[in-house]
Amino acid sequence: MDIYDEIGVKKYINAHDTYTVYGGSRMAENTLTAMREASRSFVDLSELQEKLGDRIARLTRNQAAYITNGSSAGLLLSAAVCMTQGDPFLFSRLPDVSRCPRNEIIEMRCQRNAYDAAVSASGARLVEIGDADETLETELRGAIGEKTAAVFYYASSRYAGAAMPLEKVVEIAHGARVPVVVDAAAQLPPVENLWKFTSMGADLVLFSGGKTLCGPQPTGLIFGDPELIGYCRRFGAPAHGICRSSKVGREEMTGLYTAVRNYMELNREETRRRLESMVQNFIDAMNTTGAFRAERLSRGPVGQTYPRALGIIVADFAAEELAAAMRAGDPGVYIGVDRSFGNAVYLSPLNLSDREAETVTAVLRKNVLKLLQC
């Protein structure tokens, strides 16, 4: 009996992905231990933030780092520091940006997404460039003006076709002395992404702590330029102002530090073999039912370098029906539906123990047989 049994909340196996709505990912034992130890003593939170930031920056080949309570909070803080540039008066007035000389943030229309609300919450005016098909250099050059505080860029592979390459964005923005902020929240693995975007010249780069990094759910990282990270340290929580509602505790900070250390030390070859073997088993199991044409996908949903099992359904039921049936069972199993491949489901090995992977296969087989009999 655990806490979920006690309060009567259903537990699920997560064969979908590191989605916040299910709880994201699992922390390692040493991460939980660090959090328990941290909770026993009081500290100066600013000192902890600085020392952990310095250590995390060194571990990840970055110049400076700041711990937020998630990438969404990181977007808000990044927008705030780019507009206020270290001025405590301007910061204290946010989301009123009427006194900020630079209060516009440029985004590509093809990259607009659900997390933009965090950027707008800063008070910034969003200026869109480009369209669904392409984004021309002339549009970025033309949109940058004396009110431009930053250009925000989303690293997801979903936008790759219509977006301008990051190299070009950095070149044009830096030519006009405008900083570039990259949202790379879910872009791990590969591990190299932790320093790739900063080394390409991005001024601030955001990662979630509670996705593949397996840190506490309410954590995230901002890497980047030491001056801008200095503003984050000065104005981010626990300081009063617009970012006070995105605070991070000492438990989460130390937990995230431990998770980053674990991630850097991970045996990647062994992990890769484990995930590949799960995916192959899923593919074999799906093909055996006769209801799928199953194949290996080499990438995660936003371009991450881990494999998934895609099952294109060749029988007479809908992907959504199968997903709903697997969710409704006991244990419930979350799987992915991806209509860009037609009537298709996918299974991600990322959040599964070996035992859970076996359960997923059994639950899948049972539900497919039931749907075939309908």
Ligand X SMILES: *Cc1c(COP(=O)(O)O)cnc(C)c1O
Size of the site for ligand X (CB under 6 A): 13
Contacting range for ligand X; rule: CB under 6 A; set: 29-37, 179-187, 191-199, 306-314: 179-187
Q: Which is nearer to ligand X, 188 or 294 (CB)?
A: 188
The smaller minimum CB distance to ligand X, of residues 70 and 349, is found at 70
Of residues 300-359, which lie at the interface with ligand X (CB under 6 A)?
A: none
The tokens describing 55, both together, are 């250590």
Residue 115 binding ligand X, by CB under 6 A: yes
Q: Which residues contact 41 (CB under 8 A, 6 or more apart)?
A: none
* Minimum distance, C-beta of residue 217 to ligand X, in the bound complex (Å): 8
Give the shortest CB-164-to-ligand X separation in angstroms: 17
Pairing of strands 65-68, 104-108: unpaired
Question: Footprint of ligand X on residues 4-23 (CB under 6 A)?
Answer: 20
Q: Structure tokens of 245?
A: 């509602």
What minimum distance in Å lies between the beta carbon of 42 and ligand X?
27
CA distance 286 to 264: 34
Of 59-98, binders to ligand X (CB under 6 A) are: 70-72
Listing from the earlier edge strand, what are the strands of the sheet with 336-337?
Answer: 292-297, 308-313, 344-347, 336-337
Closer residue to ligand X, CB minimum distance, 187 or 361: 187
Q: Which residue is nearest to ligand X (CB)?
A: 70
Cβ partners under 8 Å of residue 311, min gap 6: 282, 286, 291, 292, 293, 294, 344, 345, 346, 347
- DSSP letter, residue 94: T
Our finding on whether 186 is near ligand X (CB under 6 A) is: yes
Residue 220 vs 311, nearer CB to ligand X: 220
Beta carbon of residue 360, minimum distance to ligand X (angstroms, whole number): 23
Among the listed ranges 47-55, 180-188, 230-238, 254-262, the one in contact with ligand X (CB under 6 A) is 180-188
One of 15, 185, 291, 347 touching ligand X (CB under 6 A): 185
Is 208 an interacting residue with respect to ligand X (CB under 6 A)? yes
Give residue for tokens 């955001």. Answer: 206
Burial class (CB within 10 angstroms; exposed 0-12, middle 13-18, buried 19+) of 271: middle
The least CB distance from residue 23 to ligand X, in Å, is 11
Question: Between 210 and 307, whose beta carbon lies closer to ligand X?
Answer: 210
**Nearest distance from residue 208's CB to ligand X, in Å?**
3
d(CA 294, CA 292): 6
| Sequence-ordered list of residues with C-beta below 8 angstroms from that of 57, at least 6 positions apart, any chain | 63, 64, 65, 223
Quickly count: other Cβ atoms within 10 Å of residue 201's Cβ: 17
Q: Could you tell me which of 348, 361, 296, 355 has the C-alpha nearest to residue 25?
A: 348
Q: Which is nearer to ligand X, 82 or 186 (CB)?
A: 186
Rounded least distance, CB 75 to ligand X, Å: 7
User: Which residue in 189, 220, 224, 300 binds ligand X (CB under 6 A)?
Assistant: 220
Q: Does the footprint of ligand X cover residue 246 (CB under 6 A)?
A: no
18 or 281, CB closer to ligand X? 18
Least CB distance from residue 47 to ligand X, whole Å?
Answer: 24
Cα–chain center distance at 195: 15
Residue 74 or 123 with smaller CB distance to ligand X:
74
157 binds ligand X (CB under 6 A): no
Cβ proximity to ligand X: between 71 and 281 the closer is 71
Which helix (H) or strand (E) is 53 found in, with range?
A: helix 45-59
Please list, in sequence order, all residues whose beta carbon lies within 8 angstroms of the beta carbon of residue 236, skipping any fewer than 6 positions away.
49, 66, 68, 77, 243, 246
Sheet holding 65-68, edge to edge: 65-68, 220-224, 204-208, 180-183, 148-154, 104-108, 125-129
Per-residue string for binding with ligand X, 27-46, x by CB under 6 A?
A: --------------------
- Give the integer Cα–Cα distance in Å for 143 and 62: 30
Instruction: Summarize as ranges the residues that interact with ligand X (CB under 6 A).
Output: 20, 70-72, 115, 154, 156, 183, 185-186, 208, 210, 220
